[in-house]
Structure 1
Amino acid sequence: MIFDKNTRVVEFVRRPNRFQGYVIVDGKEELVHVPNTGRCREILVPGCKVVLREESGEHRKTRYSLIAGYKGDKLINIDSQVPNKVVEEALILGNIPDLKKYNIVLREKTFGNSRFDFKLSNEAGEEYYLEVKGVTLENNKKTMFPDAPTERGRKHLLELIEVKNTGRGAGVLFLIQMDDVESFSPHDKMDREFGDALRFASINGVDVFAYECNLGENFITLSKRVQVNL
């Protein structure tokens, strides 16, 4: 996907809370929106370069959203709204081989008391529920999720097992919002319960995918599958 709004690179100053950040724009400090509830501490380091997207919402309090940051030379997208859009594009284009047979793609659909990111189906009557998680944490080309404890994430995994038990397909796709990585694994040091739930889901037939992205300052798209180490 190509961003339909202007982007620019500026210097990051600080992040006083989850949704706010300060950057230097045209020589002046300015408040921007940070669309990510994760910690991103290894990315949003004072003095680093970050990418802003120009916004035009009528009720916005800031001119820009902070959508990516440079960790050294590595660009990492941190926009939490991006993963579902990138995966939807890939599903429609048939770029995820294991899910290519599902040509009907619906967003935000419920199953029982649960809501999942995607419900996939086809004319043969086959159904598949897919949950998507964005990954921004990286160390020496090894990526991990989550970067903050997530009870909601653990709950999603257990709900996917319930889907699988009905004979439907179920999976979780970790979209790594960067390129040139070697592997993905659950971040047990941050949230062991999530890691245990992911392993339990895998044992019970839930598919676990991880894909990295091709990206730049004004685009991001799903690229190749990454090794998953549980």
Structure 2
Amino acid sequence: MNFTPPLQPATLIERYKRFLADVTLADGNTITVHVSNTGAMTGCGSPGDTVWLSHSDNPKRKHAYSWELTQTSTQHFICVNTIRANQLVEQALLADELAPLTGYRHLKREAKYGEEKSRIDFLLTDPERADCYVEVKSVTLLADNQGQGLFPDAVTVRGQKHLRELIKVKQSGKRAVLLFAVLHTGIDRVSPAKLVDSVYTDLINQALMAGVEIFAYKAQLTETNWHLSQPIPFIPSK
């Protein structure tokens, strides 16, 4: 994924009201930018960090700029725009770059499914194999300086629902996949954040026992190019 026009650098002042942040542009002007992230964003931006912004020409938008990346003082890149996770996964799926998910003829986004009225991120189908339901979760929480990533960064009732749905998909004889898209260059492995959401961790373990497949792929991130293709370990919590 390449950005055209290129992302623009700024310095983060603060994030507030969940969807807004104030930044200082390279020319010294201070503006408010949109933040496309509903999560806690723990560790994803401290005052003084360099942030990278995309620009929209849509006249209906109140804020023309969106916060896409954080470049931390330790030179890690973090994608804070959660929309990008699905875009990167779709790009990789269409290019057959995710080894466990290759060979399907058709891809459908946001397909309705399940008893709890959910939408799966990607439904992969092929006449010669069982349908494959792929739920994508964006991972940005770095727990330590040793590369341990955690999900979620806040209690996720929606995520709990998705795990219940995936378990039922697998029990119906179809393929069910939970794919962690790791959007922090400092993360080298992923585990459930038991201290954040113990219910989610318990459901992860139930999903594994039921046969739900769980994979983690790490994105290569710079201010100019993003790509998702590197598998990294997923380590369950007890």
TM tier relative to shorter chain: over 0.9
2:182 & 2:209 partners in 1: Cα distance?
23
Displacement of 1:186 in angstroms is 0.7
Aligned partners of 2:42 and 2:141 also within 8 Å:
no
Aligned partners of 2:42 and 2:153 also within 8 Å:
no
Secondary structure at the counterpart of residue 97 of structure 2: coil
Displacement of 1:6 in angstroms is 2.9
Greater mean deviation of Cα atoms: 173-182 or 149-158: 173-182
1:110 & 1:165 partners in 2: Cα distance?
18
Residue-by-residue CA offset, 1:157-178 (whole Å, 9 max, x unaligned) = 1100111111000011000013
Q: Which amino acid aligns with 1:179?
A: T
Residue-by-residue CA offset, 1:85-108 (whole Å, 9 max, x unaligned) = 111111111111111122311111
Partner in structure 2 of residue 119 of structure 1: 123
1:3 & 1:198 partners in 2: Cα distance?
35
1:9 & 1:210 partners in 2: Cα distance?
29
Partner in structure 1 of residue 215 of structure 2: 209
Displacement of 1:228 in angstroms is 0.8
Instruction: Looking at secondary structure, tell me which structure has more strand per residue.
Output: 1
Q: Which amino acid aligns with 1:157?
A: L
2:225 & 2:161 partners in 1: Cα distance?
31
- 1:145 corresponds to 2:151: yes
1:115 & 1:201 partners in 2: Cα distance?
18
1:86-101 alignment runs, 5 A limit = 86-101=88-103
- 1:219 corresponds to 2:225: yes
Residue-by-residue CA offset, 1:178-211 (whole Å, 9 max, x unaligned) = 3353210011111111111111111111011101
2:58 & 2:224 partners in 1: Cα distance?
19
Q: Structure 1 length normalisation: TM-score?
A: 0.96
Partner in structure 2 of residue 48 of structure 1: 49
Partner in structure 2 of residue 3 of structure 1: 3
* RMSD over aligned Cα atoms: 1.3
Displacement of 1:125 in angstroms is 4.6
1:192 to 190, 198, 203: 198
Greater mean deviation of Cα atoms: 78-87 or 97-106: 97-106
Partner in structure 2 of residue 104 of structure 1: 106
1:163-202 alignment runs, 5 A limit = 163-179=169-185, 181-202=187-208
2:105 & 2:150 partners in 1: Cα distance?
30
Displacement of 1:13 in angstroms is 0.1
Displacement of 1:44 in angstroms is 1.3
Q: Which amino acid aligns with 1:85?
A: Q
Secondary structure at the counterpart of residue 59 of structure 2: coil
Secondary structure at the counterpart of residue 13 of structure 2: strand
- 1:85 corresponds to 2:91: no
- State, as a whole percentage, how many aligned pairs show the same letter: 34
Residue-by-residue CA offset, 1:35-79 (whole Å, 9 max, x unaligned) = 111122312111111111111222111121001102221011111
Gaps in structure 1 of 5+ consecutive residues: none
Displacement of 1:148 in angstroms is 1.3
2:110 & 2:124 partners in 1: Cα distance?
11
